[in-house]
Every structure is written in structure tokens, then in C-alpha cells.
């Protein structure tokens, strides 16, 4: 541990910020890279053909806390790194939107215009707004639109309005003047909307950001990689807990979600004070109990038959 990398002397907040910045390139990152590259190659060949073509739709689903938002952000960053150009001569440029609640197609258009630094009044009609969106995307060479937490756009819509939004997405993808690769990401219910329309389904390639599998050696290896590196940055000896049993308990404690597992590790190592140099199972158990306020009988880092712990609720084991 070099002095420059040490977190000693930092506040809890600064330690946590440093740990949160750490990113681990896992197998699903490679799978996302391949998914995006396939869409890029398809687009590139379409432009080179000098014939009208349809772009594609990537539909990426995962449970809440699966880590999909961060993985997609990094995948898009890698895709655009180095100002790489396609064989057709176009640069790879994307605009990304994260929906944070009930969103209409009209308000999505305004959000995209804000992202490309174009000011337009929301009092304009939906048609006027989306005409301007398509024009701005073309003028600025942007041909990838990524919409995260996309399920929010459909939450309160009936079937008629749902089909209207789907048709609008297809219009973006199939626009003869400037076809756009659309990336839709969200929870698994989003896939139901994509499957609702045969044309959109045929344009789409789906990817499921699966849960952690404690019986998968590759998943345990990836947890170990993160656990080891967080510990190294914090300067903590983990020899006593660096084993598959600990990692399986950690997976169970965090609902088998990659995102929750990483958040748990970040807060765990950030909470370790400068005079603590050894990590043991008791510290893991205390950290879990502090977050959930469960009784010891529902703490997966304490109970031998931890699969019987209820990790789906706070205050597990307390009677009201």
C-alpha cells in the first residue's frame, strides 16, 4: 500500500467517495461491449450500403440494484473513447437519459434537447419537439439514444398510448434521413412492452443483466476481485474472511444483486477506521446489522443455516 493510495486520515465521506469510484471490468462488461459493437457494426454497414436502412434497438433488463445503470454508462464510455470513427466516417456519439419518474414522450423529447444543449419551450407541441429532436441529433452527429429506467415511460399508460410510444420509438429507429440506435434499459417489466409490438421486437436485441449466482465460480471470482481490491485500497487484511463461504453469505445478504453487493462492500470498507487492520466475520455481521437492524437470528453473517435468514425486509425478526 503506497502512501498516495492510502485512505488513512480521510473522513468517512472521502473514503467512501474514493471507493465508489473504483470500477471492475467483469464478464458482463465484455458481453455489453459485444452487444454494443454488434449494433455499431450493423449501423456502419447500413450507412456504407448507401441504401435506406433501419437501425437497431438494444433492450437491456435487470432487477433493481443489478448495477445495470453503471455498467451501461461505462459501456457507452468505452464505445466513444478515443474519438474512434466508423468505416463510413461517422464518429460514435450518444446521448443518454435517465428517467426518474413518470415521463411522457413529450417530456422525454425536452430532456434529450437539454442534453444536446438546445433550449425549447415545453409548451410546444409533441410533434414540434420531436421534429426538433431529430434535427438536433442529425446536426450534431448523434445516432445513439440511450434511455435508462425506461419503464417509467409506460407506468401509467393504457394500451393505446403505450402503442403510440412504441410507434414513436420505431420511427426513430427507422427514420430514413437519420436512423438512430435506441437503447432501452430498465427492470424486466420493460420487456413486456417491447414484446407487445412484433416490429419493435424484430428490431431489438435483448440482454438480461442476471443476478449473482453463488454457485458460479466466475461470479465468486468477480466478487473476490472486488473484495480484495477494496481491501487493498483501504489497507485491511482480509485473509480470515477471503473464502467462498464468506462470499456466498455476502451474495445472499445482498439479494444476489451485483449492485447491492458492491454497495455493501463500499460502505463496509469505508466504515473501517484507520486503527482497524484486520477484517473478520464479526465486523461483516455488525455492518449488516447496522444497516438492517435485524436480530442475530436473521443475520446471514452469523447464522449457520443462513439461507433461512429473511434478507428481504428491514428489522427482520422483530415483532413490529
Give the 3-state secondary structure of residue 59: strand
* Residue 320, domain member (yes or no): no
Residues 195 and 235 in one domain: no
Residues 112 and 231 in one domain: no
Tell me how far apart the alpha carbons of residues 264 and 286 are, in angstroms, rounded to a whole number: 12
Torsion of CA 173, 176, 178, 183, to 10 degrees: 10
Of the three residues 208, 239, 263, the one that is the final residue of a domain is 208
Residues 168 and 300 in one domain: no
Q: What is the pLDDT of residues 84-95, one digit of tens each?
A: 899 999 999 999
* Residue 54, domain member (yes or no): yes
pLDDT of residue 103: 85
pLDDT of residue 159: 86
Is the overall model pTM greater than 0.85, yes or no? yes
Of the three residues 193, 208, 223, the one that is the final residue of a domain is 208
Residues 104 and 230 in one domain: no
Q: What does 247-278 look like in DSSP terms, one character per residue? A: HHHHHHHTTT-HHHHHHHHHHHHHH--TT--B
CA 92 to chain centroid: 20
Residues 172 and 103 in one domain: yes
Q: Starting from the edge strand earliest in sequence, which strands make up the sheet with 181-186, in order?
A: 94-98, 144-148, 181-186, 57-61, 204-208
- Calculate what percentage of the chain has a pLDDT beyond 70: 98
Residues 228 and 301 in one domain: yes
pLDDT of residue 186: 95
Band (pLDDT 50/70/90 cuts) for residue 3 is very low
Q: What is the CATH number of the domain that holds 160?
A: 3.40.50.300
* Residue 15, domain member (yes or no): no
Mean pLDDT of 32-43: 98
Radius of gyration of the chain from its Cα atoms, rounded to whole angstroms:
23
Tell me how far apart the alpha carbons of residues 111 and 296 are, in angstroms, rounded to a whole number: 47
**Which domain, by its residues, includes 287?**
212-308
Residues 164 and 216 in one domain: no
Q: What is the pLDDT of residues 109-140, one digit of tens each?
A: 999 999 999 999 999 999 999 999 999 999 99
Residues 197 and 217 in one domain: no
* Residue 226, domain member (yes or no): yes
Band (pLDDT 50/70/90 cuts) for residue 4 is very low
Q: What is the pLDDT of residues 168-204, one digit of tens each?
A: 999 999 999 999 999 999 999 999 999 999 999 999 9
Q: Looking at residue 139, what DSSP letter applies?
A: H
Band (pLDDT 50/70/90 cuts) for residue 320 is low
Residues 94 and 184 in one domain: yes
* Residue 11, domain member (yes or no): no
Q: What is the pLDDT of residues 43-82, one digit of tens each?
A: 999 999 999 999 999 999 999 999 999 999 999 999 999 7
Residues 201 and 216 in one domain: no
Q: Work out the number of other CB atoms within 10 angstroms of the CB of residue 50.
A: 8
Domain total in the chain: 2
Tell me how far apart the alpha carbons of residues 157 and 184 are, in angstroms, rounded to a whole number: 17
Band (pLDDT 50/70/90 cuts) for residue 157 is confident
Residues 147 and 228 in one domain: no
Of the three residues 159, 187, 208, the one that is the final residue of a domain is 208
* Residue 1, domain member (yes or no): no
Residues 111 and 55 in one domain: yes
Amino acid at each position: 500500500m503506497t502512501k498516495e493510495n492510502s485512505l488513512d486520515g480521510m473522513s468517512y465521506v472521502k473514503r467512501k467517495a474514493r471507493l465508489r469510484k473504483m470500477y471492475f471490468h467483469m464478464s458482463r462488461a465484455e458481453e455489453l461491449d459485444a452487444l454494443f459493437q454488434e449494433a455499431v457494426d450493423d449501423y456502419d454497414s447500413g450507412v456504407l450500403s448507401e441504401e435506406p436502412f433501419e437501425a437497431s434497438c438494444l433492450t437491456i433488463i435487470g432487477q433493481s440494484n443489478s448495477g445495470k445503470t453503471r455498467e451501461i454508462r461505462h459501456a457507452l464510455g468505452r464505445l466513444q473513447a478515443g474519438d474512434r470513427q466508423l468505416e463510413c466516417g461517422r464518429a460514435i456519439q450518444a446521448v443518454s437519459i435517465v428517467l426518474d419518474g413518470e415521463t411522457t414522450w413529450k417530456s422525454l423529447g425536452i430532456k434529450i434537447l437539454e442534453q444536446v444543449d438546445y433550449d425549447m419551450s415545453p409548451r410546444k407541441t409533441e410533434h414540434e419537439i420531436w421534429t426538433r429532436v431529430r434535427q438536433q441529433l442529425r446536426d450534431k452527429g448523434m445516432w445513439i439514444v440511450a434511455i435508462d429506467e425506461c419503464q417509467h415511460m409506460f407506468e401509467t399508460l393504457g394500451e393505446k398510448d403505450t402503442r403510440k410510444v412504441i410507434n414513436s420509438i420505431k420511427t426513430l429507429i427507422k427514420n430514413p434521413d437519420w436512423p438512430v440506435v435506441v437503447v432501452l434499459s430498465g427492470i424486466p417489466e420493460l420487456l413486456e412492452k417491447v414484446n407487445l409490438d412484433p416490429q419493435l421486437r424484430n428490431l431489438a436485441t435483448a440482454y438480461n443483466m442476471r443476478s449473482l449466482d453463488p454457485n458460479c465460480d466466475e461470479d465468486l471470482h468477480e466478487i473476490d476481485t472486488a473484495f480484495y481490491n477494496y481491501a487493498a485500497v483501504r489497507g485491511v487484511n482480509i485473509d480470515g474472511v477471503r473464502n467462498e463461504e464468506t462470499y456466498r453469505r455476502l451474495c445472499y445478504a445482498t439479494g444476489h444483486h451485483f449492485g447491492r453487493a458492491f454497495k455493501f462492500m463500499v460502505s463496509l470498507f469505508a466504515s473501517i477506521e484507520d486503527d482497524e487492520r484486520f477484517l473478520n466475520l464479526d465486523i461483516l455481521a455488525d455492518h449488516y446489522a447496522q444497516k438492517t437492524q435485524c436480530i442475530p437470528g436473521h443475520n446471514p453473517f452469523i447464522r449457520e443455516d443462513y439461507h433461512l435468514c429473511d434478507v428481504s425486509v428491514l428489522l427482520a425478526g422483530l415483532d413490529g
